[in-house]
């Protein structure tokens, strides 16, 4: 009887609250580069998370009733688009890019760059709710960045950054928007890193 009463209350109040993710991140302010930088090319962002790994909880309906665990299923199309977000942010903050958004020749452009930037998505935490109204939830990610020096042929710098995004209202976006917004914070946090800025501008 008590369980039924709780269920009815949840429906009347338009939803039981999802469990908190228990993860968060703070967006740092990117350093605006006003000097000439080494040329850099964004190679790709790769998915380094084990397929089928539990990453959070799934909820359904406007009441957000718990369905089960969320498992990581990858997302090649989504991951590929993250490279373009990185390019936009690097250009926005004054770095010298040699490749272009959506260009089929970026592999060729990368040969001309001083440095190559790549990233590995190494962790995802995600609680999400889907209903006829759309989706809501929160997502936390960790991206491991590597900068490859085309001259020395070595990984010259490695930095890990966090990203987080939360949407409390139902919106027509889905997992893609959550991941892109969390990634946007992760790239901004890279651009706020003093070691990253110094490495790209030293000697220029």
DSSP-based three-state secondary structure for 189: helix
Quote the tokens at residue 5.
Answer: 């009463």
pLDDT (tens digit per residue) in 107-126: 777 888 999 999 999 999 99
Q: What Å distances lie between residue 68 and 80, 107, 127, 162, CA to CA? A: 28, 41, 10, 26
pLDDT (tens digit per residue) in 125-149: 999 999 999 999 999 999 999 999 9
pLDDT of residue 148: 96
pTM > 0.75: yes
d(CA 114, CA 96): 10
- Comparing 24-28, 48-52, 72-76, 182-186, the range with the smallest average pLDDT is 72-76
pLDDT of residue 8: 45
Quote the tokens at residue 45.
Answer: 């962002």
pLDDT > 70? residue 87: yes
d(CA 140, CA 181): 10
pLDDT of residue 176: 81
Asked if residues 113 and 105 have their Cβ atoms less than 8 Å apart, the reply is no
Domains of the chain are 17-201 (3.40.50)
């Amino acid at each position: 009887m008590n369980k039924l009463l709780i269920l009815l209350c949840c429906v009347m109040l338009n939803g039981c609250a999802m469990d908190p993710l228990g993860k968060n991140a703070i967006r740092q302010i990117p350093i605006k580069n006003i000097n000439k930088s080494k040329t850099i090319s964004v190679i790709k962002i790769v998915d380094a998370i084990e397929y089928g790994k539990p990453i959070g909880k799934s909820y359904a309906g406007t009441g957000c009733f718990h369905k089960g665990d969320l498992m990581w299923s990858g997302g090649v199309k989504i991951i590929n688009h993250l490279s373009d977000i990185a390019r936009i942010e690097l250009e926005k903050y004054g770095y010298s890019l040699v490749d272009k958004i959506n260009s089929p020749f970026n592999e060729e452009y990368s040969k001309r760059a001083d440095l190559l930037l790549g990233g590995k998505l190494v962790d995802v935490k995600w609680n999400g709710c889907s209903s006829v109204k759309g989706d809501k939830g929160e997502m936390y990610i960790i991206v491991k960045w590597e900068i490859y020096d085309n001259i020395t042929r070595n990984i010259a710098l490695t930095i890990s950054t966090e990203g987080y995004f939360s949407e409390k209202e139902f919106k027509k976006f889905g997992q893609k928007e959550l991941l892109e917004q969390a990634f946007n914070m992760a790239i901004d946090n890279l651009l706020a890193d003093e070691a990253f800025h110094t490495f790209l501008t030293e000697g220029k």
